């Protein structure tokens, strides 16, 4: 399933699929602070992308983020064997079913900082997964609304990207996303 929107000349694509198969400049990884891999999208990216990604993550830990990547920040590595050129690793908040202004702020930053990093690297297309909507258990509708806010603000204030994709793993998640964009 796929839906295309145009927002201020930027193509926004909402689709079902496996993000590791997306052919874009950068796919975003819903990582954890350790940057050492895990389950969900993170596990799929590291296992299909190969060890090059982990090697670069280790370098980032040794240099700029010895204590781990803080929630809401983003870093970039190459994408190893994946079809995309880069992986942008971000860390969304852990909600455990709850929601608050602070969690919203952290999640907004995860989306916005990933977009800004793509801009800094002169990238033209980016694909996001449903950050924090899996193991971190943030309410899915809230994640979709926060993602929408972040991308609309980015497009409005400092757009540089030709295409922003959201790649959802199930039809149910796709429908939640579509609803938030129609509001």
Residues annotated catalytic, as ranges: 42
d(CA 132, CA 159): 24
Phi, psi dihedral angles at 88 (to 5 degrees) = -100, 120
At 132 the three-state DSSP class reads coil
# binding residues, ligand AR6 (CB under 6 A): 24
Binding mask 76-115 for ligand AR6 (x = CB under 6 A): ----------------x-----------------------
For 126, the token pair is: 């980016």
Residue keyed to tokens 């806010």? 149
CA nearest to 85, candidates 31, 38, 127: 127
Check binding of 127 to ligand AR6 (CB under 6 A).
no
CA nearest to 48, candidates 77, 82, 23, 86: 82
Site for ligand AR6 in 7-36 (CB under 6 A): 18-20, 30-32
Check binding of 134 to ligand AR6 (CB under 6 A).
yes
For 18, the token pair is: 């496996």
Least Cβ distance, residue 36 to ligand AR6 (angstroms):
8
Least Cβ distance, residue 11 to ligand AR6 (angstroms):
19
Residues that bind ligand AR6 in the complex, under the rule CB under 6 A? 18-20, 30-32, 38-42, 44, 92, 129-136, 167, 169, 173
């Amino acid at each position: 399933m796929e839906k295309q929107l145009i927002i201020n000349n930027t193509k926004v694509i909402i689709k079902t699929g496996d993000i590791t198969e997306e052919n874009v400049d950068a796919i975003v990884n819903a990582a954890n602070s350790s940057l050492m891999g895990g389950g969900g999208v993170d596990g799929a990216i590291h296992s299909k992308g190969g060890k090059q990604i982990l090697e670069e993550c280790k370098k980032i830990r040794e240099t700029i983020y010895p204590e781990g990547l803080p929630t809401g920040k983003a870093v970039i590595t190459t994408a190893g064997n994946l079809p995309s050129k880069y992986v942008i690793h971000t860390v969304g908040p852990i909600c455990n079913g709850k929601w608050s202004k602070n969690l919203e702020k952290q999640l907004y930053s995860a989306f916005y900082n990933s977009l800004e990093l793509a801009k800094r690297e002169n990238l033209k297309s980016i694909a996001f997964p449903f950050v924090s909507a899996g193991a971190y258990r943030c309410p899915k509708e809230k994640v979709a609304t926060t993602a929408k806010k972040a991308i609309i603000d980015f497009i409005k204030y400092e757009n540089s990207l030709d295409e922003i994709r959201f790649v959802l793993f199930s039809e149910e998640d796709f429908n939640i996303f579509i609803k938030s964009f129609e509001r």
